[in-house]
């Protein structure tokens, strides 16, 4: 087939990008070469719209062993141990085929982690669906949950935390972000940089089939009414093979055979081989006849662009082929020497003794397009004036009932009960808490992880929203007693070609950068998903932040369930009564405008560190951060999980009662302490200038608010627990 501009455009390339290819090659590419360019230069693989802005994120720190640019980020957790982690999107395929889309998202991120030599020890996910009333929502939710469980459960990796939200902006584009943490010894981390000439290039894992061809290109485009036709671009997962691949890779990694290793994820053999060569400043030669294929008569084009799952590419030391083959044979996996490293700095492909492609590696990587897209700055919206008469008409109990049973607050147990969250025997904080926590096997340490996003805040004011998500991740780690170390981000946005959406991206990234810099909470890995858009309608900007922290002594871990009657609950941080963009404003007042709550990074840092100090001294019996829904929602969850009540003292605060209980001011936590410790705790908080006040005293079973409103613990439970299972039945 003769390649021309129209064929290039059909491959998702722009006209000027095609011209650039011809100019760089000094000739017209053949169809295989064009396929390779389209795979490497699409948004998903090249980050062409985002690179310029991502560069500004803080990525370094004392604990950072590896920042962005590898398969995943790596942080130091002392004693020679390291945690490898990353979050990644699988949004487009999950909308087209929810089970396989979500499953292969989970499979892909676990592969990124064990490619680096780490055994996956925890999975998390952030999933976002359209309005519950939308006709597709229920099936998409069920499919995604089954897919995530189907893959993670079979792999035997616990799913320890997650986040689920519903918003009509996801009606045409759901989000599925999967995160994995792996444990590795610091001196046994594997990278993707090839080194040395004439080293054998090895293909291991599943055979290559025709599934997922152009998956990465599909994920780099908006949806339209013909989206269902894209089903063949969705990969099909086989978690059993991945489990074997995991064990085989770790077995091989125990020795010294591997020079470089890279999983075949988006853009399959194309991107894996090119990335290894590019990082090593080498060439690579592949004989495509040697690639194990599942189907007959596959062409070089198909082999290079297939996104079949559960495959790895390895550069081995010379003479180690037999050792490696024996291991993969034992695990019943394909093993083939398909090529070698060269000094040509080209990628050269052979098929039936003919050279079918030859492209200089640097053209594909360094010369890939980078755009400084136009973007529009957002203004901070004006505050709404909410009249006291409106608030005074509301009954606290009615509001609490509506908010606790709201789809974005209520218990997600229906979801996480379908995920094996206890396999591996180290899960010490299950889903439903502020963070999931797993012990570092065989040690006294534990690792906490949380995944967060606040699309509504980001939509109202991207800069503040970006900061807020990082702060919330930080608070969720603090609340379980973990010292926050680093984050990974999954940036889900609409089309970068639209100034509004690009502006949302730029300013969210700026907010993330500011907060992570201030909190010394660097970004070590991540991914960008643009074009979450159907025709002209994009999603609300949804950066997901995955935070990871360390608990040095796992016995000091904190959970949110109230522990003991007669203990006191303190509010840390100031309640200013910020109602705009709160769940209360949107669901009770039906008010969608106004600014999100302000994020004061000084207070975030100061309050968080002070709480860690109190936890370390043993004063904190339970803790929970105050976020979506506000103060009363936070204490309700603590009551529900601890099966205890609380007598809430009359607030001395001057603001309206409703504002006080449902405002979403940032930087706040609730902590439970012993009465006897009050003096000492107050002293420490005052010394650090941390705003604090008493909320109330823990009782046997009812929540009593200002002596006039009584909500029984059973009522609280029924508000909180029933919505999702009813919706899904």
Q: Which residues bind another protein (CB under 8 A)?
A: 146, 149-150, 153-156, 238-241, 243-244, 331-332, 416-428, 439, 554-555, 557
Taking the CA atoms of 570, 572, 575 and 581 in sequence, report the sign of the dihedral they define. negative
With contact defined as beta carbons under 8 Å apart, do 526 and 159 qualify? no
Least distance from another protein to the Cβ atom of residue 318, Å: 30
For CA atoms 630, 88, 77, 81, give the dihedral sign: positive
Q: Least separation, in Å, of the C-beta of 155 and another protein?
A: 7
Inter-residue contact 704 to 645 (CB < 8 Å)? yes
128 is catalytic: no
Mapped onto helix, strand or coil, the DSSP state of residue 543 is strand
Nearest to 482 by CA among 558, 593, 415: 558
Task: Pick the closer one to another protein by CB: 244 or 471.
Answer: 244
Neighbours of 200 (CB within 10 A): 19
**Which residue among the candidates 11, 44, 92, 421 is catalytic per the annotation?**
44
Give the list of residues 6+ apart from residue 659 with CB closer than 8 angstroms, or none. Answer: 386, 391, 577, 579
11, 53, 90, 578: the active-site residue: 90
Neighbouring C-alpha atoms within 13 Å toward the C-beta of 647: 7
Q: How far is the CB of 458 from another protein (least distance, A)?
A: 32
Give the whole-angstrom CA distance, residue 627 versus residue 472: 8
Question: Cβ closer to another protein: 643 or 686?
Answer: 643
Helix, strand or coil for residue 448? strand
Token readout for 364 is 């594909």
CB of 419 to another protein, least distance (A): 6
Q: Is 92 a catalytic residue?
A: no
Give the C-alpha separation, 451 to 236, whole Å: 26
The three-class DSSP label of residue 431 is coil
Least distance from another protein to the Cβ atom of residue 330, Å: 8
HEC string of 96-133? HCHHHHHHHHHHHHHHHHHCCCCEEEEEEEEEEECCCC
Nearer to another protein, 189 or 423 (CB): 423
By C-beta, is 423 or 537 nearer to another protein?
423
Q: Considering the complex, state which of residue 709 and residue 725 has its C-beta at the smaller distance from another protein.
A: 725
Q: Which is nearer to another protein, 428 or 537 (CB)?
A: 428
Question: For residues 67 and 59, what is the distance between their CA atoms, to the nearest angstrom?
Answer: 6
Find the shortest distance in angstroms from Cβ 397 to another protein. 29
The CB-of-240 to another protein minimum distance in angstroms stands at 3
By C-beta, is 247 or 598 nearer to another protein?
247
Given the complex with another protein, which of 120 and 608 has the nearer CB atom?
120
Nearer to another protein, 331 or 350 (CB): 331
First-residue to last-residue Cα distance in the chain: 52
Q: Which of the 8 DSSP states describes residue 293?
A: B
CB atoms within 10 A of CB 411: 21
CB of 427 to another protein, least distance (A): 7
Between 236 and 428, name the residue whose CB sits nearer to another protein: 428
Rounded to a whole number of angstroms, the minimum distance from the CB of residue 559 to another protein is: 11
Q: How far is the CB of 456 from another protein (least distance, A)?
A: 30
Question: In the structure encoding, which two tokens stand for residue 35, read together?
Answer: 């396929």
Distance CA 527, CA 46 (A): 11
Q: By the 8 A CB rule, do 684 and 606 touch? A: no
CB 230 within 8 A of CB 314: no
**Order of strands across the sheet that contains 311-316:** 258-263, 311-316, 200-205, 334-342, 283-287, 346-351, 354-360
Report the b/e string of 530-563 with b at 16+ CB within 10 A: bbbbbeeebbbbbbbbbbbbbbeebebbbbbbbe
Active site residues per annotation:
44, 90
């Amino acid at each position: 087939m003769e390649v021309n501009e129209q064929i290039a455009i059909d491959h998702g390339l722009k006209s000027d990008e095609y011209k650039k290819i011809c100019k760089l090659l000094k000739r017209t590419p053949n169809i295989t070469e064009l396929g390779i360019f389209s795979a490497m230069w699409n948004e998903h693989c090249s980050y062409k719209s985002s690179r310029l802005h991502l560069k500004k994120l803080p990525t370094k720190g004392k604990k950072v062993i590896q920042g962005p640019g590898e398969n995943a980020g790596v942080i130091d957790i002392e004693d020679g141990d390291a945690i490898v982690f990353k979050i990644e999107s699988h949004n487009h395929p999950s909308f087209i085929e929810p089970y396989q889309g979500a499953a292969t998202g989970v499979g892909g991120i676990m592969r990124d982690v064990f490619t680096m030599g780490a055994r996956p020890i925890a999975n998390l996910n952030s999933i976002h669906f359209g309005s519950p009333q939308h006709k597709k929502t229920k099936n998409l939710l069920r499919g995604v949950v089954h897919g995530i469980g189907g893959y993670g459960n079979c792999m035997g990796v616990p799913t320890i935390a997650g986040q689920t939200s519903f918003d009509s902006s996801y009606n045409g584009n759901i989000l599925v972000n999967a995160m994995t943490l792996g444990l590795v010894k610091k001196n046994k981390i594997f990278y993707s940089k090839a080194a040395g000439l004439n080293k054998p290039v090895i293909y291991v894992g599943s055979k290559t089939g025709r599934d997922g061809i152009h998956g990465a290109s599909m994920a780099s485009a908006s949806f339209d009414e013909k989206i269902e036709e894209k089903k063949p671009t969705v990969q099909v997962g086989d978690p059993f093979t991945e489990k074997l691949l995991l064990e085989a890779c770790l077995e091989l990694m125990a020795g010294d055979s591997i020079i470089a290793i890279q999983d075949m994820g988006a853009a399959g053999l194309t991107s894996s081989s090119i990335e290894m060569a590019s990082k090593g400043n080498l060439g690579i030669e592949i004989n495509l006849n040697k690639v194990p294929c599942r189907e007959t008569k596959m062409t070089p084009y198909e082999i290079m662009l297939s996104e079949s799952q559960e495959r790895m590419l390895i550069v081995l030391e010379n003479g180690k082929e037999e050792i490696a083959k024996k291991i993969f044979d034992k695990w019943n996996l394909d093993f083939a020497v398909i090529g070698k490293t060269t000094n040509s700095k080209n990628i050269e492909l052979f098929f039936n003794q003919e050279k079918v492609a030859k492209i200089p590696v640097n053209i594909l990587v360094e010369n890939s397009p980078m755009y400084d897209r136009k973007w529009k700055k957002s203004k901070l919206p004006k505050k709404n004036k909410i009249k006291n008469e409106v608030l005074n008409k509301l009954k606290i109990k009615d509001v609490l009932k509506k908010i606790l049973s709201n789809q974005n607050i209520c218990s997600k147990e229906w979801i996480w009960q379908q995920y094996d969250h206890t396999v591996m025997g180290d899960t010490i904080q299950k889903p439903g808490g502020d963070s999931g926590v797993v012990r570092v096997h065989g040690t006294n340490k534990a690792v906490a992880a949380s995944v967060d996003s606040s699309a509504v805040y980001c939509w109202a004011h991207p800069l503040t929203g970006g900061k807020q998500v990082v702060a919330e991740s930080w608070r969720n780690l603090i609340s379980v007693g973990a010292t926050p170390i680093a984050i990974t981000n999954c940036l889900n946005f609409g089309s970068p070609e639209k100034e509004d959406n690009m502006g949302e991206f730029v300013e969210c990234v700026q907010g993330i950068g500011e907060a992570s810099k201030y909190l010394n909470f660097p970004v070590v890995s991540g991914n960008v998903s643009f074009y979450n858009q159907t025709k002209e309608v994009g999603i609300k900007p949804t950066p997901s932040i995955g935070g990871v922290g360390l608990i040095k002594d796992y016995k000091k871990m904190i959970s949110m369930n109230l522990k003991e009657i007669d203990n006191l609950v303190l509010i840390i941080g100031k309640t200013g009564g910020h109602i705009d963009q709160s769940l209360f404003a949107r669901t009770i007042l039906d008010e969608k405008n106004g600014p999100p709550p302000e994020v004061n990074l000084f207070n975030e840092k100061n309050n968080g560190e002070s709480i860690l100090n109190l936890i370390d001294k043993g004063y904190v019996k339970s803790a929970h951060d105050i976020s979506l829904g506000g103060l009363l929602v936070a204490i309700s969850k603590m009551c529900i999980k601890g099966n205890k009540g609380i007598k809430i003292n009359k607030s001395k605060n001057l603001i309206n009662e409703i504002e006080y209980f449902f405002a979403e001011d940032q930087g706040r936590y609730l902590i439970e302490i012993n009465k006897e410790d009050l003096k000492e705790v107050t002293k420490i908080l005052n010394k650090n200038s941390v705003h604090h006040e008493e909320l109330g005293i823990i009782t046997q079973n009812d929540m009593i608010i200002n002596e006039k409103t009584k909500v029984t613990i059973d009522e609280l439970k029924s508000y909180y627990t029933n919505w999702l299972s009813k919706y899904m039945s």
